[in-house]
Amino acid sequence: MTRLTALLVLLLAALPAGAEDVVLGLSRDQVSISTDFDGSEILIFGAVKREVPIAEPPLQVIVTVEGPDQRLTVRRKERRFGIWVNADAVEVDAAPSFYAIATSAPWEEVITHTEDLRHGISIPRVTRSVGAPMTVLDSQNFTRAVIRINENSGTYALNEDTVTLREQTLFDTSISMPANLTEGAYPTRIFLTREGKVVSSYSTEIEVRKVGLERWLFTMSREQPLIYGLMSLAIAIAAGWGASAAFRLVRGN
């Protein structure tokens, strides 16, 4: 029996009775951001606890990991009189700083549109714009632009067929988290679906925190912005002087 299987057996034994419920485990529930942090990978594993025989059609699994929300103002540029200027602007009220979805099958097979609306699972469902000016008739295009930019940068991802589901009972997947993580709580959700309908769900959190020098600099920038600004200026001046001195030295040789 592998270590992962043994953990799942213990989790199953501890879960209260139910028709079909999720038992979840995480390889780690906290990510520390230090000066040499270049990303992380979280292993998410679990099992289905059931008190009835396995039913048909088969279950599917959806796993989501969401970073802290951020408010963004998206501007559209237009060319006027030969120069590019800011034209319309729309405020995106809720845009996760990170959002990853992993599924056990193609998206269309794991959940219906109605269930997605109800539970807010897909990327468009967790990214919303509000307060668009009356002059902006295509505000949803601004939201789609935010999604497209984040998908291109890798901070938003839909990873289909990446959840391994064994014997309709054990499942696991891994979520890659980039280096530019925002500090805070990362809600993690697991959905069991059958015929596109959610039959069970489970929620937990992964904590992302700065440590060491990163933590010290972050705290100073918030609590002592004047000192932080002066220190940044001094470092910039010293770096410029050092580069100039090195250039003169190399040129003299």
Q: Where are the alpha helices (DSSP H) in 56-155?
A: 107-110, 113-119, 139-153
Give the strands of the sheet with 197-210, arranged side by side: 30-33, 197-210, 184-194, 59-66, 99-103, 156-159
DSSP string computed for 2-41: -HHHHHHHHHHHHSPP-SEEEEEEES-SEEEE-TT---EE
Q: In what order do the strands lie in the sheet with 20-26?
A: 20-26, 40-50, 170-177, 164-166
Residue 127: strand, helix, or coil: coil
Kindly give the pairing relationship between strand 197-210 and strand 30-33: parallel
State the pLDDT at residue 189.
93
State residue 30's pLDDT score: 63
The neighbour count for residue 59, using CB atoms within 10 Å, is 22
The Cα 240–Cα 1 span in angstroms is: 59
Query: Is residue 220 within 8 Å of residue 227, measured between CB atoms?
Result: yes
SS3 category, 167:
coil
DSSP 132: -
Give per-10-residue mean pLDDT for the chain (253 aa). Answer: 48 50 70 59 84 81 91 66 60 82 95 95 81 57 82 92 90 85 87 93 84 50 62 66 64 61
**Residue 124 gets which letter from DSSP?**
G
Q: What is the predicted pLDDT for the residue at 17?
A: 42
What is the rounded distance in angstroms from the CA atom of residue 108 to the CA atom of residue 62? 12
pLDDT at 164: 92
Joined together, the tokens standing for residue 104 give 């056990």
What share of residues in the chain are helix, strand, coil (percent, to 5)?
A: 30, 40, 25
CATH class of domain segment(s) 3-209 = mainly beta
Instruction: Return d(Cα 48, Cα 50) in angstroms, integer.
Output: 6
Looking only at the bridges linking them, the beta strands covering 69-80 and 83-96 are antiparallel
Domain parsing of the chain, residue ranges:
3-209, 211-253
Q: What type of residue sits at position 116? A: D
Q: Say what the pLDDT of residue 245 is.
A: 62
